Structure 1
Amino acid sequence: MGRLFWKIFAGFWLTLLLTVLVVTAALVIREEARRSEESVLAAGPRSSIALRMAWTTARHGGEAGLRSLLTNWPEYEGDPPLVVNAAGGEFLGREVPPEVLQIARERYAEWSQLRDSERGGEWRKRSVRAWQDAAGEEWLMFFPQTAARAPERSASISIGRIEAPALLALAALLASLAVSAVLARHFSQPIRKLQDAFLAASKGELGVRVAQVMGRRRDEIGELGREFDGMAQQLQQLVGSQQRLLHDVSHELRSPLARLQVAVGLARQKPAQAEAALARIEREAERLDMLVGEILTLARLEGQTPQRGEDYVDIVELLDSVVEDARFEAEGSERRVVFTTGVEGELVIRARGELLHRAVDNVLRNALRHSPPQSVVELNLSRDAASRALHITIADAGPGVPEAELAAIFEPFHRGETTSGSGYGLGLAIARRAVEAHGGRMWAHNRASGGLEVHIELPPAAAL
């Protein structure tokens, strides 16, 4: 056990020691008052067992069984228990003293408010039981105190009879020690578990979690444990994504390298086809260069956290530039690009212009690539009046994306069922990372009229 345990233990012990002494004295006074009330109802093991027998008979035998039991009650057991409903009527029509009924109801109310852990071992609190008949009416069962049922005090020691100060002090000492140990363990154990979890995480065991150890704690220690789980999960996802990226990169590089090796082999075996092989080698080299460039861009963006931009950029002018380049490329494929905006004049934001330009350009090119001839790709810029967030929407008229793949299209090297062309599946992944680097978010959904609609949202902090 660490030093924190002993510090907490000592603090709780000293506090509880004084508290227990004060509470014990109050309980002695209260117990004396209760003893005068207990003389009205019979309490103790014998009465409790007899009362339970009547209650069990009523539950399983109903009114007929209870009536038979009360009518044939053994004489050596004394009078049968009283069974009274809410209106004060007795089951067999016997007379019930009002003061006895009042105390019985109070005892049952106290018993009903106790938790299960507090109900064991106190015979006095089991002097009243409740039973519901077939009609749902509740009846209270209890024994009034009579000469035949003298107080049974041999089974327990009444606290009111404790007179030795030494015994009282010993009880307070033991109780405070036990409670202090439990409380100290309650606070120090999760901290020790957190220490072990941090140590495991430092060794690379990122799957460790402490939520089960914390249980349902809602204090600062519980929040710290949940924050640790969130941190460990993010680290695990980051490391996992890096491992998947490394695997995907190695897989993607294998194909062009294999084609390069084949082209070199053909050039050696068939010198007459050397020119064609060299042309093939040049194309594969260009593809490798483009792939490596996109991978490096993605890797740089993966390690960045959302931050404010470094430049002041006119977002309207930036989108105009992207649309102008896209229109030039779309002319040969009989497609059109339409740019609309609800923002009048200039809209200067603080952003990394090159990254934002590439993000929108990648999405727009992807929309053009999947749009059929004679179709229109729509780009819209708007600004939320309440949150002041910027919203960029790019919609095409292509085949769309299966609903199950909408989230996956932003993952590196993803190629869906509708993917065509020679891309590597990095364009949308780079675009999303670039948007996230500005503290924004990016998502997509299928249009009701057909096609895919991609949304880019930049936070208010980016706009001035």
Structure 2
Amino acid sequence: MGRLFWKFFFFIAIAQITATFGVGVLFWVENLERSNRNSEIDLSPPASFMIRSAAATLQFGGTEALRSLINEGRPHRLQLYALDEDNKDLMGREVSPKLVEQAKHILATERERRVVERVKAPNGHSYLMFIPAPNDEFGPGGPPGGAREPHRIGERGPKSMFFPTMPIVVALLASLVFALLLAWYFSHPIGHLKNAFNQAANGNLDLELEPVMSARNDELADLGRDFDVMTAKLRTLMESQRRLLHDVSHELRSPIARLQVAIGLARVQDKDKLDLTLERIERESVRMDKLVGELLTLSRLEANVPGSMEEPIAIEAMLGDMINDASFEAEAIGKHVDDQLDCRVQVKGNPELLYRAIENVLRNAIKHTAPGTTVQIHTQLDEINKLLHLSILDRGPGVPEEEMNSIFELFFRSSRTKSNSSGHGLGLSIARRIVEAHQGFIQAANRSNGGLRVDITLPFMADEPARGDTVES
């Protein structure tokens, strides 16, 4: 049992014990007050009949006849009292003043049923006659031998002062049991969570809470499912890190090996061939520098530190500058770039990163499109959903359908272009992360007549206010 269990148990038990005692005391006080308010005079129809009979007996038979009537009624539940002007009982019994006062009050107020009578006897004295309420302590027959209770008639006995000890004890036991169950109900899944977090901290991310908490349907079960989602993402990230380290080491090993070979040749070659070797060393250095730059960009994106993402970007001006540079390079290798731009809107984000993402896709299309063909760039605005659709289409070899879902993964190179590609398989992966950082998405599909189509969708802010920032070609 952990500390949380005892905290739950203690506070729940204290609350329930306090409530139990409070309710018990309130009921006790209420019962006392109700007992004090209850009539101590018998108001039943038999009592009314007995009073009328006694009144007739006293009027026509006198006090001796009434004594005989009272003696005959002693063994039974109804026991009649007759008090003279001095509140002395005809039979010499003690009577509570409170009982006398209540009898006089009923005599003055009760009109419908005469349960209290004042009758004048033949000897000139008047008698107040009434019957006390039965004492249930001894049952319907009253006390053994017809004797009344030892306390004075009309006064409540110890039973009316009874404190509800047994109900309170039962309620306390029930409260403790339910407090125990409730504390266990909350602390048990938290114990599973604690164990799962300890396992995760020790590197075991395979433990799942869904099987052990599937029977619950509360926030703790939701927390367990969220933990499973978290560990699944951590497993994916760790696996991608291991794969990234493996791929980076593989990509760096080749240019480093070529550099070492070139440096070795430079040491033994004559001066005429040295320039070719140095050119090879420079080319491999540039490749390594480009790879390191792409890895740094990827690292920033993976760490969610891409810089400011709040700058307004005039997307049509950016695309115009990009297409001018790409067209110049494409013309030099016998290829063309055709654009159909109509997107005078602004996109909120980082201009440098967004430029690099779109440029990666565009240069990739120029690289793989066939000689003499054209790379097309189209834009379309969705005014209702405030979305910009940018499409880049080439006439290259395309991508096998089974590889389509992998072209945006790290270090992936299609089997159709791997042999003649000088890239590292990072361009499209970086482009996807940059587009997603701008709340957009990117996807690719093969064209029906050959080639690849890459669609980029970005949310835009508003119409571009001006085009003064466009660089003239």
Same-fold call, TM > 0.5? yes
Letter of the 1:295 partner, please give it: L
Report the Cα distance in structure 1 between the residues aligned to 2:207 and 2:390, rounded to whole angstroms: 40
CA contact (8 A) 1:391 1:457 kept: yes
After TM superposition, list the pairs within 5 Å mapping 1:8-19 onto structure 2: 8-9=8-9
**CA 194–281 in structure 1, closer or farther in 2 if over 3 Å, else same:** same
Q: Does 1:222 align with 2:229?
A: no
Output one character per residue of 1:318-368: Cα deviation in whole Å (capped at 9) or x when no partner: 11111111111111333322222443xx31222211111110010011111
Deviation at 1:295, TM superposition (A): 1.5
Deviation at 1:437, TM superposition (A): 2.1
Deviation at 1:384, TM superposition (A): 2.1
Q: Which of the residues 366, 369, 372 maps onto 1:371?
A: 369
Output one character per residue of 1:164-208: Cα deviation in whole Å (capped at 9) or x when no partner: x99999987776655544443222122222233333334444444
Letter of the 2:326 partner, please give it: A
Report the Cα distance in structure 1 between the residues aligned to 2:230 and 2:170, rounded to whole angstroms: 46
Report the Cα distance in structure 2 between the residues aligned to 1:254 and 1:266, rounded to whole angstroms: 18
Aligned residue for 1:406, secondary structure, equals helix
Aligned residue for 1:407, secondary structure, equals helix
Report the Cα distance in structure 1 between the residues aligned to 2:242 and 2:462, rounded to whole angstroms: 32
Aligned residue for 1:374, secondary structure, equals coil
User: Where does structure 1 lack aligned partners over 5 or more consecutive residues?
Assistant: 19-164
CA contact (8 A) 1:308 1:462 kept: no
Counterpart position of 2:268: 269
Report the Cα distance in structure 2 between the residues aligned to 1:433 and 1:370, rounded to whole angstroms: 22
Report the Cα distance in structure 1 between the residues aligned to 2:415 and 2:373, rounded to whole angstroms: 21
Report the Cα distance in structure 2 between the residues aligned to 1:216 and 1:450, rounded to whole angstroms: 53
**CA 242–217 in structure 1, closer or farther in 2 if over 3 Å, else same:** same
Aligned residue for 2:407, secondary structure, equals helix
Report the Cα distance in structure 1 between the residues aligned to 2:188 and 2:379, rounded to whole angstroms: 54
Q: Which of the residues 397, 414, 428 maps onto 1:416?
A: 414
Counterpart position of 2:5: 5
**CA 171–425 in structure 1, closer or farther in 2 if over 3 Å, else same:** same
CA contact (8 A) 1:307 1:437 kept: no
Q: TM-score, normalised by structure 1?
A: 0.61
Letter of the 1:229 partner, please give it: D
Report the Cα distance in structure 2 between the residues aligned to 1:178 and 1:293, rounded to whole angstroms: 66
Deviation at 1:11, TM superposition (A): 6.2
CA contact (8 A) 2:340 2:377 kept: yes
Counterpart position of 2:29: none
After TM superposition, list the pairs within 5 Å mapping 1:392-431 onto structure 2: 392-419=390-417, 420-431=420-431
Aligned residue for 2:290, secondary structure, equals helix
Q: Which of the residues 348, 359, 376 maps onto 2:346?
A: 348
CA contact (8 A) 1:342 1:382 kept: yes
Aligned residue for 1:457, secondary structure, equals strand
Report the Cα distance in structure 1 between the residues aligned to 2:408 and 2:226, rounded to whole angstroms: 27
Counterpart position of 1:459: 459
Q: Does 1:331 align with 2:331?
A: yes
Letter of the 1:201 partner, please give it: A
Aligned length: 318
**CA 274–450 in structure 1, closer or farther in 2 if over 3 Å, else same:** closer
**CA 227–462 in structure 1, closer or farther in 2 if over 3 Å, else same:** farther
**CA 311–166 in structure 1, closer or farther in 2 if over 3 Å, else same:** closer
CA contact (8 A) 1:410 1:428 kept: yes
CA contact (8 A) 2:307 2:350 kept: no
Percentage identity across aligned positions? 48
Output one character per residue of 1:254-306: Cα deviation in whole Å (capped at 9) or x when no partner: 11111111112222334364333222222212221222122212212221168
Give the root-mean-square deviation of aligned CA atoms. Answer: 3.2
After TM superposition, list the pairs within 5 Å mapping 1:23-34 onto structure 2: none
After TM superposition, list the pairs within 5 Å mapping 1:55-454 onto structure 2: 179-271=178-270, 273-304=273-304, 309-343=309-343, 346-419=344-417, 420-454=420-454
Q: TM-score, normalised by structure 2?
A: 0.60
Output one character per residue of 1:84-112: Cα deviation in whole Å (capped at 9) or x when no partner: xxxxxxxxxxxxxxxxxxxxxxxxxxxxx
Deviation at 1:211, TM superposition (A): 2.2
CA contact (8 A) 2:346 2:461 kept: no
Letter of the 2:268 partner, please give it: Q
Letter of the 1:217 partner, please give it: R
Deviation at 1:227, TM superposition (A): 2.1
Output one character per residue of 1:113-144: Cα deviation in whole Å (capped at 9) or x when no partner: xxxxxxxxxxxxxxxxxxxxxxxxxxxxxxxx
Aligned residue for 2:321, secondary structure, equals helix
Aligned residue for 1:309, secondary structure, equals coil
Report the Cα distance in structure 2 between the residues aligned to 1:461 and 1:220, rounded to whole angstroms: 38
Deviation at 1:373, TM superposition (A): 2.2
Aligned residue for 2:237, secondary structure, equals helix
Counterpart position of 1:54: none
Aligned residue for 2:449, secondary structure, equals coil
Deviation at 1:245, TM superposition (A): 1.5
Letter of the 1:360 partner, please give it: I
Letter of the 1:424 partner, please give it: H
Report the Cα distance in structure 1 between the residues aligned to 2:256 and 2:402, rounded to whole angstroms: 32
Report the Cα distance in structure 1 between the residues aligned to 2:402 and 2:170, rounded to whole angstroms: 66
Counterpart position of 1:48: none
Aligned residue for 2:380, secondary structure, equals strand
Letter of the 1:232 partner, please give it: T
The structure whose Rg is larger is 2
User: Where does structure 2 lack aligned partners over 5 or more consecutive residues?
Assistant: 21-163, 465-473
Letter of the 2:236 partner, please give it: Q
Letter of the 1:383 partner, please give it: L
Report the Cα distance in structure 2 between the residues aligned to 1:365 and 1:212, rounded to whole angstroms: 49
Deviation at 1:315, TM superposition (A): 0.5
Aligned residue for 1:450, secondary structure, equals coil
